[in-house]
Structure 1
Amino acid sequence: MRDSQFSRRAFIKNTTALAAIPFLSPELLKAENKTSQEFPKIHIFSKHLQFLDYEAMSDVVREMGFDGIDLTVRPKGHVLPERVEDDLPKAAEAMRKAGLSPSLFCTAVESAVNAQDVRLLQTASKLGFQYYRMNWYRYPENQTQPAALSSFSQKIGGLSKLNKKLNLVGCYQNHAGLLIGSSMWEVFQLLSRADTQSMGSQYDIRHAVVEGGLSWQNGLRLIRPHIKTVILKDFQWSDRTGKWAAQNVPLGQGMVDWLTYFKLLKQYNVQVPFCLHLEYPLGGAESGSSKINVSPTTVYEAMKRDLAKAKELWEKA
């Protein structure tokens, strides 16, 4: 009887002790597996602030809590390509004066043999910029798609060599629609001949979900070793005129599964600069207008709201 009581007591004691071990607790297991990566450096796309000059833009971006600006250096941008040697230094100086380091810029660069493209990249490199988005390619009518991808991958390979010399990193953005790069497999193929350190992907989750539907995670898995910068924006499908279309909406109000997406970025250890885009109606600021029909405060509040939402979702993921 005593042996039986002892065995029962010992069993209860040992079971209780084992139950207290953290790795046997599902809750603690989940918490232990959850990474604690800090929210990445986040920039604001200057397309949405083209109603401001360089100094005013830099000051307001710093006040809103962003880490930097993804500056448009392209036709109809903050800096025009033909004026890059005169105006880009002014923009860079305004950023530094506001406590921001020039880092990201958005271009229409396509080739390492185009004189204007080369001059633009050389100027940006001298000023300390690091990452740029290049232009998109289109499928020619007189060429098969595989042949076009092979030809354009050679161009990108040439750009990557120029980038390496200039200590820059070029990025090709995936974009929904008929441009080359709506599919992550296209982007993967385009980058096949590029130097992986100086050329990669600007991953856009909004466009990935539009085109990828339920398979966007496969595309992310494919391209993740090549991701150099990340764009944040959201959308929902809407039937407004009898035809379904992707409608841009504030961050967290659309169809992007942010918690899953951010969990995967943490799991894959994707630590690259982020850039916030706001392409829903904002009085013209969403499309890069130099004159907007809403108060600038309305634009700033939207930016701060989406920035706060991004950080909130990152912490939850």
Structure 2
Amino acid sequence: MQRRHFLELSALAAASATISKAADEPAKTTRPRLAFTKTLEKLPFDELATRIAALGFTGLEAPIRKGGHIEPEQAPDKLPEFVAALKKQNLELTILTSDIVRADKGSETLLRTAVAQGIKRYRLGPYFYDLKKPIVPQLAEVRAKLTDLAAMNKELGIQGQFQNHRGNNRVGSPLWDLISALEDIDPAHLGIAFDFAHATVEGTNAWEITLRRAAPHVVAVYFKDYKLVGREWMPCPLGEGSVNPKAGAIVKELLPANTPVSLHVEYIEGGGAERDAKTLAAMKNDLATLAKWLPV
């Protein structure tokens, strides 16, 4: 056998072996899977980290805002402690949920603290329309605020994320207004956290076309579910409401594999330790549903 032919056959055999081995191994992803810990804010940092890690999440979307895990003015002292507790469980604070709506001194202080702790993303607070005034000028004001925030984010080295949220006076509720406001803004500095539940409530049959149009701006996705009870949209376990399981396949089709996916569980009633335990159990169940919709 000639040497060249031998080498070609050897290369093919090696490639075949690699493909066979890869087929036997579970596929891996760099996609962060986050627990939104809005309803677990009273748990001590170490306990929260231990219990979230046990469920299989890679990180947290954690409220560092008024009434959250940490009040914004206390972040310089307490945020390092929180991040350290997460690191002990191989978790990260992937998205910091904030009340930030403008580029001011308070916002810059919180974000500088976050960046110093290795946090790379934060969620903005909401904007609202005054329905007694024309919408177009108000949207121009929103665009100006987002432009200023994007410039600050770029300087600090952090990415802002604006969540679409249901509501007849919420900026981003129809999503087309938010897309327009972000048109000239680099998503590396400020983009959309696409919430499937809110997008479904406001556009039951249009959520997919909306996502496809928003995709160039989408930097995170949020999964939760709602069901219509009479005329009221009520939160419910993932898969029991109106959010289409097809959403997972479209995320894989349109968005990079490292796009963070955050699971929101906000349908557990009550309070105290019993509610915490039920919330954690619900997170486990919803994470299993999400794994079927959006497999590794």
TM over 0.5: yes
Aligned equivalent of 2:251, options 223, 243, 265: 265
Q: Which residue does 2:58 correspond to in 1? A: 67
Unaligned runs of 5+ in 2: 1-26
Aligned residues: 268
1:213 counterpart = 2:193: no
SS at match of 1:192: coil
Q: Which residue does 2:223 correspond to in 1? A: 232
SS at match of 1:102: strand
Q: Which residue does 2:264 correspond to in 1? A: 277
C-alpha distance in 2 between matches for 1:270 and 1:283:
38
Aligned equivalent of 1:175, options 158, 161, 165: 165
C-alpha distance in 1 between matches for 2:28 and 2:84:
31
Unaligned runs of 5+ in 1: 1-35, 285-291
Contact kept, 8 Å, 2:34 with 2:94, in 1: the verdict is no
1:163 counterpart = 2:163: no
Contact kept, 8 Å, 2:247 with 2:293, in 1: the verdict is no
Deviation at 1:101, TM superposition (A): 2.4
C-alpha distance in 1 between matches for 2:28 and 2:252:
7
1:254 counterpart = 2:245: no
C-alpha distance in 2 between matches for 1:48 and 1:141:
31
Structure 1 length normalisation: TM-score? 0.80
Q: Structure 1 residues 98-107 or 118-127, which shifts more? A: 98-107
Deviation at 1:142, TM superposition (A): 6.6
Q: Which structure would you say has the larger Rg?
A: 1
C-alpha distance in 2 between matches for 1:256 and 1:101:
28
Q: Which residue does 2:21 correspond to in 1? A: none
C-alpha distance in 2 between matches for 1:133 and 1:315:
25
Contact kept, 8 Å, 1:153 with 1:192, in 2: the verdict is no
Deviation at 1:40, TM superposition (A): 2.7
Aligned equivalent of 2:188, options 189, 197, 210: 197
C-alpha distance in 2 between matches for 1:41 and 1:76:
25
C-alpha distance in 2 between matches for 1:269 and 1:227:
8
Contact kept, 8 Å, 2:49 with 2:85, in 1: the verdict is yes
1:304 counterpart = 2:294: no
SS at match of 2:219: strand
1:153 counterpart = 2:140: no
Q: Structure 1 residues 92-101 or 64-73, which shifts more? A: 92-101
Q: Tell me the alpha carbon deviations over residues 62-91 of structure 1, each in whole angstroms, 9 at most, x when there is no partner.
A: 111110011101110001011111111111
Change (3 A) 1:104 1:268: same
Q: Which residue does 1:222 correspond to in 2? A: 213
Change (3 A) 1:161 1:70: same
Q: Tell me the alpha carbon deviations over residues 26-53 of structure 1, each in whole angstroms, 9 at most, x when there is no partner.
A: xxxxxxxxxx884832110121211201
C-alpha distance in 2 between matches for 1:74 and 1:310:
27
